[in-house]
Chain A
Amino acid sequence: MNIRNFCIIAHIDHGKSTLADRLLQRTGAISERDMREQVLDGMDLERERGITIKASAVSVHYELEGQKYLLNFIDTPGHVDFHYEVSRALTACEGAILVVDATQGVEAQTVANAYMAIDANLEIIPVVNKVDLPSARPEEVALEIEHVLGINANECIFCSAKTGQGIDELLAAICKRLPGPKGDESAKTQALIFDSEYDDYRGVIVYFRLFNGRLKVGDKVRTMGTGRTYSITEMGKFMPKMVLQKEPFEAGEVGYMVAAIKTLDDVHIGDTLTLDLYPADAALEGYREPQRMVFCDFYPVGDTQFDALRDAIERLHLNDASFTFAPQNSDALGFGFRCGFLGLLHMDIVQERLERESNVQLVQTAPTVTYEILLHSADGTDRVVQITNPADLPDVAAVREIREPIVKVEIITPNDCIGDLMKLCEARRGIYKSQRYLSETRQILDYELPLAEIIYDFYDKLKSFTRGYGTMDYALLGFRADRLVKLDILVNGDRVDALSVIVHRDKAEYRGRALLKRLKEKIDRHLFEIPLQAAIGGKVIARETISAMRKNVTAKCYGGDVSRKRKLLEKQKEGKKRMKRVGTVDIPQEAFMAVLEPGE
């Protein structure tokens, strides 16, 4: 059997999932009748947002020129937040199909993903997709690919996942151009865990790629990183439905296994499985911890209790181990959870899934990044602590330095937007690195930017400045010290720790004023006047006042009005339940997000 393990990588919306669907259909893995759009995207949420969250591995049979092939392909996420998931998928493959939209051309994540594939030594088949569209410019795009990635334009396959054009050619290329797996069946067993999923009935389903040796149902396996052992109770492939496989898996194969594993935390993505009795000498390379870039708190509100929120988070964590959570106690908001995410989109998805799947009501605080704090102790020694919450910043007297994460940002943009984007980057404390031509009309702009400056609206701004054409990708460079201060917000005299934010000193007054203005808009008038203050240390640098409610009275309430009026007043009361009460002030969810909204 000829095996081809490959993945599909692309910038978001370049048609990766549609292409995967088309490949499944052409190889007969699913019938026309079963064909649903984007079969690989299981969750409603993914479908709604048009993005793929989890990587899925699917195996199909294909015959070419009398030869039988088993094609194992892995659908990968295309969004900037899911770098790590892409990297796991790449490790399990020998080849990659690089999909580029024939109209849009090379985009920021095309470049980022292609470099990751090149770094992983994968053979790349460039595909120019959506060539059926009138706006398509496949030859130019092929040249862009050659220019930016150094892949010969002649190697590009022009296709349309929508019409099926070029699909046969692509399948042929997969069989002929991609190398088969090189593994040693007689060597000691080494299988890479490249993904996992939680199933209510079977527990954790582990996706693996067998590099060396064999694996079969009944084998006792050991995770080499964590040293746990499990007995395999079920093995199979997704074709694309789960199909059991009785005969042993051999080196080079991709599949899933079930082994009474209770939580996703028990299997670390990137870890190596080996046989407990005949363990391999070393684990496979390429594993690293996923990096949580963005943090925020979730607090229960309304009818939701802390325990219900904890259950909901734990349940969701069974399905998505890539976010972290830890109990958090806020003076203002009470008991909740501090959570870490791969990026902002990931954070939004987790929040939405919590509310949708577990029916909890929660307040989310504004996202922040990790800071490194250099502390000078009384005994004269220095040490560094990490905080993920501005409220945790130690006493200013002991702080020698606050360091923030810096990212390398690569922006691809039409030429005429360069000026606006450079202004945007400068305003966000960016350091210009380079500017390169991608084609006659587009450029690649490189900047170093503090992560904190791009986590909220930078991407939206980029999109609006470039009329939607600009794209970006970012990667962490490291931590760098700057003149950073903690800005505290006082509502009615009470410091609201969940509203604290770390900002650059030069921007503190401006940010403080802008923040108070937005808070004033978000917080309803109460029966009393509410002073709002922004302060650094004990010093107030900005203030606003929410005046007391002036008029709110029903003029008529007679016999026929009683029920309706009562319901109206109950609604008025219910509205407050969704809010968080700090002292005597009801603060709505949006107010906690107001911290990072654009102040311009």
Chain B
Amino acid sequence: MHIPFCFHKCHYCDFYSLPDSPTGINGPAAGSDRQSAFVDRLLKEIRFQAQRYTLRPRTVFFGGGTPTLLEAELWKKILETMRQMGLLDDVAEFTVEANPETLHENLLTVLVQGGVNRISIGAQSFNVTHLKTLERWHEPASVTRAVTLARKAGIANINLDLIFAIPGQTPDDVRDDLSQALHLQPDHISCYGLTYEPNTALTQRQRAGQIQPVDEEIERRMYGLVRQILAQTGYEHYEISNWARPGRQCLHNLVYWENDSWLGFGPSAASHVQGRRWKNVPHLGAYISSVASAPVADEEELDVNRHVGEVLMLRLRLRAGAERSWLNALLRDDHARWDKVRDLERLGMLAWRDDHLQLTEEGLYVADAVISQLL
């Protein structure tokens, strides 16, 4: 579910969102008409898709935007509707993304009562200077507060998002961020190298020479440091940018990497059903005013060759990699790709371990160049 509201656009973010005033715990908020119009449309979209597909999700993920900007009453409405429709019956993992500043006790109670069992908090950094570089408007202390509140409300599965290679950041700063994050004992950590996405303020500032990206050698060291520290503290590295305590891998994101099917709701939300991908139009007005199915922007169904490339692209992101029998089935007579695999093995970028083909440690740093050869 894509909730397209933020009270401020962070400079590195390229997700679809609109500015919206923060909601109070109890009070009526500005923009509530728009929020409720959005929620009504979202529920209609869910009902519409429920007629087309058998909806028995095993995981639910609310992202954005800032889902925690939605008023508690609207959350109640969504969660109650989903429960009544039986959508939550098989759900093992129900995640809501939270901005540390907007996670409040009242909202948490509503979420937990509605079935949410996992919270993902956008910490990014604990350093005020670096948060400012990212144009993240939260106090480092609010992350601690949010984690404490969530635990108190009964959330047992917590993720923290961190970003490294922020302009001006040093490896010591990264070490410090990790240590503060670990102090909160999260169950899961997503740690991303800062990406300069096109059409973001960050990229504009970089092009204008206002900020200097971190040198790639230093970024390599930072990534190495993250892997080393998290391994030492009992976190399993299971995807290029994701670490989890045993049993705490994000089931929802595994759906993406294992190329399973999912449905997305809300403006700009993406869906994938058995090889067919599409994306809702990233426009709230168009979304709200639409009837029946949401307007779709991109739709594609790949030919076999592209499909195989895409499946590999996703699967090799997982540290476990691709199991031999699975790969044998996928690449049955694909001699060209097998040749590539052997080339990349020789170069030390791919290796077999436990009967799985995986990116090597060196391969991790240049995963795009490795994977692009297999497309």
Asked if B347 contacts A528 (CB within 8 A), the reply is yes
**Chain B residue with Cβ nearest A572:** B372
Digitize A549-571: 1 where CB-to-B-CB distance is under 8 Å, 0 elsewhere. 11111111111101101101110
Interface status of A173 (Cβ within 8 A of chain B)? no
Kindly identify which residue among A559, A569, A572 contacts B256, using a CB–CB cutoff of 8 Å: A559
Asked if B375 contacts A562 (CB within 8 A), the reply is no
Interface status of B37 (Cβ within 8 A of chain A)? no
Interface status of A383 (Cβ within 8 A of chain B)? no
Asked if B372 contacts A555 (CB within 8 A), the reply is no
Asked if A559 contacts B264 (CB within 8 A), the reply is yes
Asked if B309 contacts A566 (CB within 8 A), the reply is yes
Asked whether A549 and B272 contact (CB < 8 A) given A527-B347, A559-B262, A560-B264, the answer is: no
Interface status of B40 (Cβ within 8 A of chain A)? no
B371 / chain A contacts, CB cutoff of 8 Å = 569
9-residue interface stretch from B104-112, B126-134, B176-184, B215-223:
B215-223
Interface status of A49 (Cβ within 8 A of chain B)? no
Asked if B365 contacts A557 (CB within 8 A), the reply is no
Interface status of B17 (Cβ within 8 A of chain A)? no
B255 / chain A contacts, CB cutoff of 8 Å = 559
Chain B stretch 244-259: residues in CB contact (< 8 A) with chain A: 253, 255-257
Interface status of B370 (Cβ within 8 A of chain A)? yes
A553 / chain B contacts, CB cutoff of 8 Å = 193, 240, 364-368
Cα distance, A140 to B241, chains bound together (Å): 76
A569 / chain B contacts, CB cutoff of 8 Å = 313, 368, 371-372, 375
Binding site for B on A (CB under 8 A): 527-528, 549-560, 562-563, 565-566, 568-570, 572-573, 584
A528 / chain B contacts, CB cutoff of 8 Å = 347
Asked if B241 contacts A555 (CB within 8 A), the reply is yes
Interface status of B343 (Cβ within 8 A of chain A)? yes
**Chain A residue with Cβ nearest B370:** A527
**Chain B residue with Cβ nearest A565:** B313
Cα distance, A106 to B179, chains bound together (Å): 79
Asked if B219 contacts A551 (CB within 8 A), the reply is yes
Kindly identify which residue among A527, A550, A560, A568 contacts B220, using a CB–CB cutoff of 8 Å: A550
Asked if A550 contacts B264 (CB within 8 A), the reply is no
Chain B stretch 267-323: residues in CB contact (< 8 A) with chain A: 268-272, 277, 279, 298, 300, 306, 309-310, 313-314, 317
Chain A to chain B contacts (Cβ below 8 Å), 30 pairs: A527-B347, A528-B347, A551-B219, A552-B366, A552-B367, A553-B193, A553-B364, A553-B365, A553-B366, A555-B193, A555-B240, A557-B256, A557-B313, A557-B317, A559-B262, A559-B270, A560-B15, A560-B270, A560-B279, A562-B256, A562-B270, A562-B313, A563-B279, A563-B298, A563-B300, A566-B375, A568-B368, A569-B313, A569-B372, A570-B306
A566 / chain B contacts, CB cutoff of 8 Å = 306, 309-310, 313, 375
Given A551-B365, A558-B253, A569-B371, 13 more pairs with CB closer than 8 A = A549-B366, A551-B220, A552-B367, A556-B192, A557-B257, A558-B256, A560-B269, A562-B256, A566-B306, A566-B309, A569-B313, A569-B368, A572-B368
Distance (Å) between the CB of A493 and the closest chain B CB?
15
B277 / chain A contacts, CB cutoff of 8 Å = 562-563
**Chain B residue with Cβ nearest A554:** B368
Cα distance, A549 to B220, chains bound together (Å): 11
A584 / chain B contacts, CB cutoff of 8 Å = 343
Cα distance, A568 to B257, chains bound together (Å): 17
Cα distance, A305 to B55, chains bound together (Å): 50
**Chain B residue with Cβ nearest A569:** B372
Digitize B349-375: 1 where CB-to-A-CB distance is under 8 Å, 0 elsewhere. 100000000000000111111111101
Interface centre among A554, A559, A566, A570 (most CB of B within 10 A): A559
Distance (Å) between the CB of A525 and the closest chain B CB?
9
Asked if B314 contacts A562 (CB within 8 A), the reply is yes
Distance (Å) between the CB of A527 and the closest chain B CB?
5
Asked whether A554 and B272 contact (CB < 8 A) given A563-B277, A573-B375, the answer is: no
Asked if B347 contacts A550 (CB within 8 A), the reply is no
Cα distance, A528 to B346, chains bound together (Å): 11
A563 / chain B contacts, CB cutoff of 8 Å = 270, 277, 279, 298, 300
Interface status of B195 (Cβ within 8 A of chain A)? yes
Asked if B240 contacts A550 (CB within 8 A), the reply is no
Kindly identify which residue among A554, A558, A560 contacts B195, using a CB–CB cutoff of 8 Å: A554
Q: Which 4 A-B pairs have the closest CB atoms?
A: A560-B270, A555-B192, A569-B372, A551-B216
Cα distance, A558 to B252, chains bound together (Å): 10
Cα distance, A562 to B258, chains bound together (Å): 12
Distance (Å) between the CB of B266 and the closest chain A CB?
11
Cα distance, A56 to B367, chains bound together (Å): 58
Cα distance, A570 to B240, chains bound together (Å): 20
Digitize B142-186: 1 where CB-to-A-CB distance is under 8 Å, 0 elsewhere. 000000000000000000000000000000000000000000000
Kindly identify which residue among B268, B368, B372 contacts A560, using a CB–CB cutoff of 8 Å: B268
Cα distance, A555 to B310, chains bound together (Å): 16
Cα distance, A549 to B362, chains bound together (Å): 10
Cα distance, A549 to B317, chains bound together (Å): 19
B268 / chain A contacts, CB cutoff of 8 Å = 560
Cα distance, A211 to B42, chains bound together (Å): 89
B216 / chain A contacts, CB cutoff of 8 Å = 550-551
B314 / chain A contacts, CB cutoff of 8 Å = 557, 562
Asked if A552 contacts B368 (CB within 8 A), the reply is yes
Kindly identify which residue among B366, B367, B368, B373 contacts A550, using a CB–CB cutoff of 8 Å: B366
Cα distance, A432 to B56, chains bound together (Å): 89
B193 / chain A contacts, CB cutoff of 8 Å = 553, 555
**Chain B residue with Cβ nearest A570:** B375
Asked if A527 contacts B300 (CB within 8 A), the reply is no
Interface centre among A550, A555, A562 (most CB of B within 10 A): A555
**Chain A residue with Cβ nearest B2:** A560
B310 / chain A contacts, CB cutoff of 8 Å = 562, 566
Cα distance, A554 to B272, chains bound together (Å): 20
A558 / chain B contacts, CB cutoff of 8 Å = 253, 256
Interface centre among B279, B300, B349, B367 (most CB of A within 10 A): B367
Asked if B366 contacts A573 (CB within 8 A), the reply is no
A565 / chain B contacts, CB cutoff of 8 Å = 313
B217 / chain A contacts, CB cutoff of 8 Å = 550
B262 / chain A contacts, CB cutoff of 8 Å = 559
Distance (Å) between the CB of B337 and the closest chain A CB?
12
Distance (Å) between the CB of B214 and the closest chain A CB?
10
Asked if A562 contacts B369 (CB within 8 A), the reply is no
Asked whether A554 and B367 contact (CB < 8 A) given A563-B300, A566-B313, the answer is: yes
Chain B stretch 181-217: residues in CB contact (< 8 A) with chain A: 192-195, 216-217
Distance (Å) between the CB of A552 and the closest chain B CB?
5
Cα distance, A281 to B288, chains bound together (Å): 93
Cα distance, A584 to B217, chains bound together (Å): 25
Cα distance, A572 to B366, chains bound together (Å): 13
Distance (Å) between the CB of B52 and the closest chain A CB?
19
Cα distance, A463 to B351, chains bound together (Å): 57
A555 / chain B contacts, CB cutoff of 8 Å = 192-195, 240-241
Kindly identify which residue among B317, B343, B370, B372 contacts A570, using a CB–CB cutoff of 8 Å: B372
Cα distance, A130 to B174, chains bound together (Å): 71
Asked whether A549 and B256 contact (CB < 8 A) given A527-B349, A555-B195, A566-B375, the answer is: no
Asked if A559 contacts B313 (CB within 8 A), the reply is no
**Chain B residue with Cβ nearest A551:** B216
B309 / chain A contacts, CB cutoff of 8 Å = 566, 570
Cα distance, A527 to B365, chains bound together (Å): 10
Distance (Å) between the CB of B224 and the closest chain A CB?
11
Asked if A572 contacts B369 (CB within 8 A), the reply is yes
Distance (Å) between the CB of A143 and the closest chain B CB?
56
B257 / chain A contacts, CB cutoff of 8 Å = 557
B192 / chain A contacts, CB cutoff of 8 Å = 555-556
Cα distance, A551 to B15, chains bound together (Å): 24
A572 / chain B contacts, CB cutoff of 8 Å = 368-369, 372
Cα distance, A562 to B256, chains bound together (Å): 8
Distance (Å) between the CB of B171 and the closest chain A CB?
15
Asked if B272 contacts A562 (CB within 8 A), the reply is yes
A562 / chain B contacts, CB cutoff of 8 Å = 256, 270, 272, 277, 310, 313-314
Kindly identify which residue among B241, B264, B344 contacts A556, using a CB–CB cutoff of 8 Å: B241
